[in-house]
Copies of this chain bind each other. A is one copy, B any other.
Amino acid sequence: MTNKHNIILQPSGSRGQVEEGQSIRSAARDLGVEIESICAENATCGKCMVLIEEGRFEKYNIDSRRENVSPVSAEEAAYFARRPKFLKDKGWEVGQVRLSCQCKILGDVLINVPEESRGNKQIVRKSASQREIEIKPAVRKYLVTLTPPNLERPIADWERLAKGLETSMALVRGHEETLPRWHEFSIDYQCLRTLSSTLREAKWNVTVSVWQDREVVQVQPGYHENSYGAAVDIGSTTVALYLCNLRTGELLAAESEMNPQIVYGEDVMSRIQYTIEHKDGLEKLHKSIISTLNKLLKQAVKTANSHLLETDDLNTGRENPASTRPSYIKMEEILEMVLVGNSTMHHILLNLPPKDLGLAPFVPAIHKSVDVKARELGLHISPSANIHVLPTIASFVGADTSAMIVAEEPHKQDENWLLIDIGTNAELVLGNRKRLVCTSTPTGPALEGAHVEYGMRAAPGAMERIHIDENTLEPKYKVIGVDGWNTDHAEFKGQVKGICGSAIIDGVAELFRTGIVDSRGKFKQGLESSRIRKGESGWEYVIAWAEETSIGRDIPMTQQDVRQIQLAKAALFTAARTLLKRSGLESPDKIILAGGFGSYIDKEKAMLIGLIPDCVLDNVYAVGNAAGDGARIALLNVEKRREIESVTRKVERFELPTDPEFQNQFMLATSFPHMSEAFPHIAHLIPNRVADPMAKNFTTK
């Protein structure tokens, strides 16, 4: 019979009797306390450090002393000898701190498990957009140490590795029940090609990267703990790439580039047209995006490595315990990518003809997510890496919307949320845990500043805010790159050159609020202001006189500009209203505005002109690039992929043109709301004039 000893694990307070000679890590597991380890108990990773507390602990009636555990082994001593700075910073001494996979119990002890060693912990990471992401990557690494083959046991390299991997995976993740057996593992063909030479070069001590707990995608000599991955949002205009550490979730670099397909067409419809009219059109568009992705990947690795260089000394600490030199990231260490984009970008990325996305009945080639090898797409990362493309929902509700759902999780809410991604095309998702409905609508380029006489992109010199005094009808405005309002400056000359999207919304809202245009969007005549005048193309309101501009011309908002915004907001509003009606709702509990544009507009003004439906103003949020965030979340947490796959399969899609009321509703929605009944939450902003007969157009009652 073996001796039993009392152990206590802090801070959980778990206690129990364990057999003499058991390792602390194994004993802790028996008592329900998981301690980290990624090196399969090889005294290499240092993730399983614990502290042996000394003294008499009356509360537990226990005498705990260092002699009650096995002496520091040669491997442990070597491990700690390599990181004196780390020990000094922590104020720990060897003997007090131990590797729990090596340290065996010989008597009663009280053990402190420091936070960083605790298994099952929710590793969270504040992302650029302050989202918390639980790290559960598709690719995980395991140190596998093999007995070399000999004449008595000449089993093949792959089978030897698979058996070792089974053992290592079980040691690292022993608390999980459904781990695969060795014969269930597979190895990517290109990875198999170099397996034999790698194993021998590594003297049978390798780090194996496993995708989805099944497929071996990389075998590296020696010990490595970090894997890298990239999340990409392919927008029609901009491509944004995020390089992440798959183990820690850390964002290592964020890079963006213009989408090179713009030369083949500004919007998705013209790019689809290009592929129809040119025999090699799809191939050209496909190759251009692939080459941009390769460029972004290279830039991101460069950026991340330059940061590593700056924080060189960090690498001598715990982050990179096996080496005192910083380990620079190589392109072929990128082991997975997750990509999102609208359905047209999705099809072109995958080299699928997008023709039918643009022709009725508007059908994508595939809804479900696609996993394809990097080498099949010509991406210059590990050839065995898998490229995961999120599912599409409909022809105009693409993988970017799936990613927005991943990021915002409307399917987990009790409240009804309305998600709107505003661009040249707007995608809308409405609902809660019980039901999600979605649709899309073309909003035209007006909201992004195009097709507006003095419209421009958000850049220095662009007006970003406009306010009009309702008594004097005089405007004031803010310009990107200039502090405060123009009227705050003693002299304001030559500093403005156009109007960007958010100011266009402001301008139209103010023209309406101050009664310069009526609820039908028509300029009223007979108002006393030199700013209201008849221009070349009809009535207009001058916001900036020529001397305030760098272009030497007055900058007005014209009747035509107002009409453009009316069409865009009518499309968006009708889409939102259709979803609300189909869901039997009057208004959403929360409105989430995704995309760059949504971040800059004044939500009060947006509601005032009826761009978005009525909602408590405090419940209207702008969340930035939700699609990019969703891609990053799906990269770092494989469970989110399964989740979105099943959510998208259930989302109900409404194609607006098939709605019998659509044309009628759309025409009615072109006017401005102008009534407190329909928009109670902005009632105080609305001019106190006669009730408008159009009010009924803006209610879903």
Residue numbers of A with Cβ under 8 A of B are 149-152, 154-159, 183, 187, 189-190, 192-193, 195-197, 200, 350-353, 355-356, 360-368, 370, 372, 376, 392, 394-395, 649, 653, 655, 657-658
Contacts and interface: CB of A to CB of B under 8 A. Distances in A.
Contacts of A159: 366-368
B366 A158 contact: yes
28 contacts: A149-B361, A149-B363, A150-B361, A151-B361, A151-B655, A151-B658, A152-B658, A154-B361, A154-B362, A154-B363, A154-B655, A155-B363, A155-B367, A156-B363, A156-B364, A156-B392, A157-B365, A158-B368, A159-B367, A189-B350, A189-B370, A189-B376, A192-B350, A192-B365, A193-B351, A196-B356, A197-B355, A200-B356
Contacts of A394: 154
A56 to B, nearest CB: 56
Given A149-B361, A658-B151, A193 B352 contact: yes
A354 to B, nearest CB: 9
Contacts of A395: 154
Nearest to A347: B196
A173 B82 CA distance: 64
Contacts of A187: 366
Given A149-B363, A154-B655, A197-B353, 8 more contacts: A151-B361, A155-B367, A183-B368, A192-B352, A193-B352, A196-B352, A196-B355, A200-B356
Contacts of A193: 350-352
Contacts of A376: 189-190
A362 B153 CA distance: 10
Which of A151, A196, A363 has most B Cβ within 10 Å? A363
A79 to B, nearest CB: 32
Contacts of A365: 156-158, 192, 195-196
A642 to B, nearest CB: 12
How many copies of this chain does one complex carry? 2
A213 B197 CA distance: 36
A364 B156 CA distance: 5
Given A193-B352, A355-B196, A364 B157 contact: yes
Given A361-B151, A655-B151, A156 B372 contact: no
A151 B187 CA distance: 43
Contacts of A189: 350, 370, 372, 376
A442 B82 CA distance: 52
Contacts of A157: 356, 363-366
Contacts of A200: 356
A286 to B, nearest CB: 10
> Sorted from nearest, which 4 A-B pairs have the closest CB atoms?
A158-B366, A156-B367, A156-B364, A151-B658
Contacts of A190: 376
Contacts of A150: 361
Nearest to A394: B154
A472 B676 CA distance: 129
Contacts of A370: 189, 192
A192 B368 CA distance: 12
A384 to B, nearest CB: 12
Nearest to A356: B196
B360 A151 contact: yes
Given A189-B372, A189-B376, A352-B196, A367 B149 contact: no
A197 B351 CA distance: 13
A376 B364 CA distance: 28
A661 to B, nearest CB: 15
A190 B350 CA distance: 10
Contacts of A155: 363, 367
A566 B351 CA distance: 64
Contacts of A368: 158-159, 183
Contacts of A149: 361, 363
Tell me which of A158, A395, A657 has the highest count of chain B C-beta atoms within 10 A of its own C-beta: A158
A367 B196 contact: no
A370 to B, nearest CB: 7
Contacts of A197: 353, 355
Nearest to A282: B193
A562 to B, nearest CB: 32
Nearest to A649: B183
A480 to B, nearest CB: 41
Contact of A366 (B192, B353, B362): B192
A658 B154 CA distance: 11
Contacts of A183: 368, 649
Nearest to A153: B361
A156 B366 contact: yes
Given A189-B372, A353-B197, A372-B189, A154 B657 contact: no
A350 B157 CA distance: 15
A360 B395 CA distance: 59
A363 B150 CA distance: 9
Nearest to A359: B200
Nearest to A343: B156
A7 to B, nearest CB: 42
Contacts of A156: 363-367, 392
A658 B197 CA distance: 25
A361 B154 CA distance: 6
A356 B201 CA distance: 13
Nearest to A362: B154
A636 B183 CA distance: 24
Contacts of A158: 365-368
Nearest to A658: B151
Contacts of A154: 361-363, 394-395, 653, 655
A197 B372 CA distance: 21
A152 B360 CA distance: 11
A365 B149 CA distance: 12
A197 B282 CA distance: 13
A234 B531 CA distance: 88
A192 B364 CA distance: 12
A192 B353 CA distance: 10
A297 to B, nearest CB: 20
A355 B199 CA distance: 13
Given A156-B392, A158-B367, A364-B157, A657 B151 contact: yes
A616 B362 CA distance: 74
